[in-house]
């Protein structure tokens, strides 16, 4: 297939290797956003919130429908006649072991966020949700807290990543097109992907990635600040959080300059090892039998109820639970989809469609459920059985939930200090892997799918992501971080729908051509 997209990149000068249309338009938008938000944070924060309320009021059904379609489609593709297709050719073998593959996609996908929410979110859902009053049935309310949290971190979100990553991998490895969003539009618009439509697709992917990752970095900075306050009395305030974002972003830029194998892969493997160590510590130091029992209950309860909860639309305009939580999460997952999709596609060459779909769907979902269950069950046990004030601590400052739970385990000061230090190191390394993965993907889109974009672009986009996270914190903290995800997901989701349609059309056409060729070969052999 002719690939004139190569002619779109600059051949010389400061912007060598980049598609200037995509680079300039996306960079201009991001820089303008940063400048306006920093100069007039109150007005821009109000404007972002106004737009988010409009989406919540008029398009919540759209987000919910889209996320459910992606989940059903992911399951269908895994067990369909397309499942045996190998991404990269029949003889291609996976480049990365399953452990490294899983570690990278987990670290890029949800590392910081799940550390932030694993205790706080079940506690908040326990106290306030549209279904169960905790004052009437404490156990049922607690169970819903786990169900809702795992639901927000489970199959529905990863189903988005499956489809986006799959069509990007397919068009890159099977069709020889660059690893860029525009390539997935080829079946529908042909060579027009090399024009303005293609530029818009890649630019929206970049903008969604920057806002999506900025949300995670803002959450991470809040929790790192809380942890440093717990360990060393480092004051919790906005200025310190901005310093944390800037300093850790420097490490992320250093990691992305090392590349995928030397930087991101090694850090991701380290993250997973530390995660397993933390979970074992909580399991051993906490109420072990209770945690194991509750983990089994949570997994069963989640898989039984997830489809029903996923299809539910809140008809009560006075109740903001779904808008505050589910809509935020679906926006967050959708805004991350171009970034994580490109990243997963890059590390998944040699895997079958079935292996890709099942691996990306189930492995992170089960890991997330176990993580949430172990930490969350420990917190509830300490609250209900041991009489600790975990819920009060969450209500006062949700960023401290993890560290208050560690302190309440009743271990010695030195052991508690060591566990809290491990958590801060995890936050830092997950911060770095999320940021450098996003930077690498943005550079890949700017440089038309190039695997090793030039250092200047990695540095620029690393600082752009850092600046966006800082701007969002200045504009209103956590609420504005959540708003950015919901807003950035809307335009890019339209591109995703079109690209998904093109992917399905291509799959069907390619399989038909393969069947026709095999039939001709069989007939030829019979004649001989």
CA 466 – CA 252 distance, rounded (Å):
10
Return phi, psi of residue 358, to 5°.
-65, -40
Q: Angle of helix 353-384 relative to helix 138-153, nearest 10 degrees? A: 150
Task: For residue 92, give both structure tokens.
Answer: 């291609």
Q: What is the pLDDT of residue 12?
A: 62
Q: CA 448, CA 513: separation in Å to the nearest integer?
A: 29
Q: What is the reported pLDDT for 469?
A: 83
Structure tokens at 441: 């993907």
pTM for the full predicted model: 0.87
Listed as ranges, residues in the chain with pLDDT below 50 are 1, 3
Full set of structural domains in the chain with CATH: 19-53+66-310+319-506 (1.20.1740)
pLDDT in tens, 435-457: 777 787 788 788 776 666 677 88
Name beta bridge partners: 9. 19
CB contact at 8 A, 290 and 41: no
- Select from 6, 159, 23, 151 the least CA-distant residue to 500: 159
CA 526 to chain CA centroid, Å, is 53
Is residue 356 within 8 Å of residue 165, measured between CB atoms? yes
Tokens (6 digits) for 255: 């990691």
Provide the pLDDT for residue 160: 92
**Residue 42 CB contacts under 8 Å (≥ 6 apart), including other chains:** 475
Q: Are 482 and 328 in contact (CB under 8 A)?
A: yes
Residue 156 has what pLDDT? 94
Supply the pLDDT for residue 223: 80
User: What's the pLDDT at 1?
Assistant: 46
Q: Give the three-class secondary structure for 402.
A: helix
């Amino acid at each position: 297939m002719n690939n004139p997209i190569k002619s779109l990149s600059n051949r010389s000068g400061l912007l060598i290797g980049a598609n200037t249309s995509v680079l300039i338009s996306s960079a201009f938008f991001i820089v303008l956003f940063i400048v306006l938000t920093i100069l007039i944070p109150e007005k821009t924060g109000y404007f972002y919130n106004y737009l988010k309320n409009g989406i919540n009021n008029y398009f919540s059904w759209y987000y919910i429908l889209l996320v459910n379609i992606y989940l059903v489609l992911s399951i269908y593709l895994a067990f369909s006649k397309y499942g045996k297709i190998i991404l990269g050719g029949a003889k291609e073998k996976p480049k990365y072991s399953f452990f490294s593959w899983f570690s990278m996609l987990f670290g890029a996908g949800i590392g910081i966020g799940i550390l932030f929410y694993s205790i706080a979110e079940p506690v908040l859902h326990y106290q306030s949700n549209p279904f169960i009053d905790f004052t009437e049935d404490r156990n049922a309310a607690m169970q819903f807290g786990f169900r809702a949290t795992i639901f927000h971190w489970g199959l529905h979100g990863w189903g988005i990543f499956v489809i986006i990553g799959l069509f990007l991998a397919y068009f890159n490895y099977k069709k020889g097109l660059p690893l860029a969003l525009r390539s997935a539009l080829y079946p529908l618009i042909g060579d027009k992907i090399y024009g303005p439509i293609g530029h818009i697709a890649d630019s929206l992917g970049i903008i969604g990635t920057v806002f999506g990752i900025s949300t995670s970095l803002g959450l991470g900075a809040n929790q790192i600040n809380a942890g440093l306050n717990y360990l060393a009395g480092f004051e919790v305030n906005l200025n310190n959080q901005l310093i944390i974002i800037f300093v850790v972003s420097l490490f992320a830029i250093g990691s992305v300059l090392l590349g995928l194998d030397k930087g991101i892969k090694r850090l991701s493997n380290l993250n997973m090892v530390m995660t397993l160590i933390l979970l074992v510590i909580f399991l051993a130091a906490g109420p072990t039998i209770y945690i194991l029992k509750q983990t089994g209950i949570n997994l069963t309860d989640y898989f039984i109820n997830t489809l029903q909860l996923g299809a539910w639309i809140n008809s009560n305009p006075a109740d903001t639970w779904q808008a505050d939580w589910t809509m935020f999460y679906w926006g967050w997952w959708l805004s991350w989809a171009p970034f994580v999709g490109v990243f997963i596609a890059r590390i998944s060459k040699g895997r079958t469609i079935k292996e890709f779909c099942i691996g990306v769907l189930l492995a992170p979902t089960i890991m997330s459920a176990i993580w949430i269950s172990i930490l969350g069950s420990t917190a509830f046990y300490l609250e209900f059985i041991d009489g600790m004030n975990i819920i009060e601590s969450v209500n006062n400052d949700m960023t401290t939930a993890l560290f208050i739970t560690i302190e309440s385990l009743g271990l010695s000061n030195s052991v508690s200090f060591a566990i809290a230090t491990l958590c801060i190191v995890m936050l830092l390394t997950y911060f770095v892997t999320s940021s450098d993965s996003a930077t690498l993907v943005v550079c890949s889109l700017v440089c038309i799918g190039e695997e090793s974009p030039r250092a200047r672009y990695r540095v620029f986009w690393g600082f752009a992501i850092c600046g966006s996270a800082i701007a969002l914190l200045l504009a209103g903290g956590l609420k504005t971080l959540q708003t950015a995800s919901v807003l950035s997901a809307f335009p890019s989701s339209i591109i995703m729908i079109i690209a998904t349609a093109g992917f399905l059309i291509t799959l069907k056409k390619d399989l038909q051509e393969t069947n026709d060729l095999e039939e001709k070969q069989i007939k030829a052999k019979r004649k001989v």
